[in-house]
Amino acid sequence: MAEPDGSFRLLGNSAWNAAAFVIGVGLNLVILPFVVFRLGLAAFGVAGLVTACLAPALVFSNALALSTARELAHRLAPAERDDARRFFATALLLAVGIGGLIVIGFVAAGPPLARFAFHLSDDSANDLGRAFALGAVGWLCQCLSAVFLTLFTARQDYRRISSINITSAVVATCSMVVLIPSWPQASTFLGCQALGFATGLLMVFVLSRLRLGEWLARPALHRGPLGDLVNVGSWQLAAQGGGLLSGQVDRYLLGALLQPQFVGFYTIAQRLEEAMYIGILKIGEILFPYFSALQRESSDRKAELLFRSSWILNVLAASVLGALVPVAGPLLYLWTGPEVAAEAQRLLVVLAIAGMLGCSANVFAFYLLAHGQSRSIALISLVTAVFTVATSAIALPYFGWQAAGWSACVGMSAQIVTTILLLRRSFSIAGMWSRVAHFVLLPLGTGIATALALRYALRDALFDHVSHWWYVGGLYCVAAAIIFVVVVTASRVGPHGAVCWRDLRVIATRFLPVRAT
């Protein structure tokens, strides 16, 4: 980037976010085979269905957190402290009041509706009441934590945010190791997750009191901040709702059409792909407050930073997610066993490609949100949801389990088209389509093509040493390196090739022990 200090700060924040994610997801992925073995695929599938039923609540908590972080990021000066306190107090009241009502609704209506919608037998549904109660309490802790975390997000203090997330993940994982063998039920799994969220809430409360006590306030209703939060948050509700529907529709339909174990297969494959996808999202998440601070920059300058940031994350997505494609079968075999590998490897390939396509819109979404264009975010999300739901509704009843994941690719393709069209309306700069082709479409297209070619070329060699982690892990790293080299080489061609190479050198200078030349 042009400003080394600003770029190094962004890269440092990304590193903290990535570190927290790697540790948290690493623990999650390590513990998952243990959980599946102890619970069984049916009980694990029920836990996945309960999680999917609770997912709509994330629409509210995520929208509230994003709108609050945006408002607080604009009010960091000491002279604006009272105004910021009013926003925080209003957000906290919404979290407590509306969040409490949502929990009551889930506890009362969740179990009977789940039994009816997913045709659960008495054996698989005998734990639903506790599962919904513990899952809902965990979500409420997460919702309250999100409001307190906005104080640190607005200040781009990702070091403390990361420490909270890491501690929460460690507590949840350790509790699973201790409690699940004694009580192998879906509710135990969800209760352990809730314990991790409660730990995170306690930590963020203590840290905010110690570090930012003068910016805290008791829950209270202030009409001005309420109007601003609702104005931004209402469109975020639509956007989050569309994203939720896109991400959960396959799980809902599988639960309604098939046995819970198929939901378990889907959850395992999605968990692995989602881990990589969210890791990339977390690295780019630091761009939200950064873009919020660029309100006074020129349109050309903002467009330059936007597309260059997008290229970096697209290269990362192509390398990290693309490398899953050639090793999908052996990786699932080692991780969860031959039954899951046989059923879910094609799904993992499809979801990995969908994740690569989805990463193309992340940076643009942060930019639009930071500049108050929540209506555009909602439109992108709803268009994605429409295409995803329509594809799932057509494909799954006719083609069955093997069609799972197709809707994600169709939905993400629609998302790319919609995002590009909206960006064209936001910028009136020369060479817009050239930038879209070079910074967005080129790395993703090259990455997907290279990943599929590697899967075809390595289909026989992959199973020679399938029982060895070092072999599969080495092939994953080699595949990621090959995809990275191919994408970067392709990106050096064209009018923006020098810019891409310069940005890679800045990143290398920041993180490599030897200065890049």
Asked if 443 and 484 count as a contact pair (C-beta separation under 8 A), the reply is no
Backbone phi and psi for residue 477, each to the nearest 5 degrees, phi listed first: -65, -40
Which of 420, 424, 423, 435 lies closest to 496 in space, CA to CA? 435
**473 lies in a domain?**
no
The whole domain housing 113 covers: 1-221
| DSSP string for 348-392 | HHHHHHHHHHHHTTHHHHHHHHHTT-HHHHHHHHHHHHHHHHHHH
**106 lies in a domain?**
yes
CA distance 441 to 18: 24
Per-residue tokens: 357: 């396509």
Q: In this structure, is the dihedral angle defined by the CA atoms of residues 101, 107, 112 and 116, taken in order, positive or negative? A: positive
Per-residue tokens: 268: 């395992």
Direct distance between the N- and C-terminal alpha carbons of the chain, in angstroms, rounded to an integer: 16
**187 lies in a domain?**
yes
Helices (H), 55-127: 56-73, 81-118, 122-125
Asked if 262 and 269 count as a contact pair (C-beta separation under 8 A), the reply is no
Rounded to 5°, the CA angle 212-192-147 comes to 25
Asked if 443 and 384 count as a contact pair (C-beta separation under 8 A), the reply is no
Residue 331 CB contacts under 8 Å (≥ 6 apart), including other chains: 272, 324, 348, 472, 476
Neighbour tally for 390: CB within 10 Å: 15
**487 lies in a domain?**
no
Domain count, the chain: 1
**32 lies in a domain?**
yes
Q: What is the pLDDT along the chain (517 residues), one digit of tens a residue?
A: 444 444 555 555 656 666 776 787 778 778 888 888 888 878 888 888 888 888 888 888 888 888 888 888 888 888 888 888 998 999 999 999 999 999 999 999 988 888 888 777 666 667 888 999 999 999 999 999 999 998 888 887 778 888 888 899 999 999 999 999 988 888 999 999 999 999 999 999 999 999 888 888 898 888 888 877 776 655 566 656 656 666 666 676 776 766 767 777 777 887 778 777 777 776 665 554 555 555 556 666 667 777 877 888 888 889 989 999 998 888 888 888 777 788 788 888 998 998 888 887 777 777 776 666 667 777 887 888 888 888 888 888 777 777 778 888 888 888 888 888 887 776 666 667 788 888 888 888 999 999 999 988 877 655 555 567 778 888 889 999 999 999 999 988 878 888 888 877 777 776 555 444 4
Residue 455 CB contacts under 8 Å (≥ 6 apart), including other chains: 325, 326, 328, 349
**418 lies in a domain?**
no
Asked if 72 and 150 count as a contact pair (C-beta separation under 8 A), the reply is yes
**289 lies in a domain?**
no
**208 lies in a domain?**
yes
Q: Say what the alpha-carbon torsion angle 430, 313, 388, 33 is, to the nearest 10 degrees.
A: 180
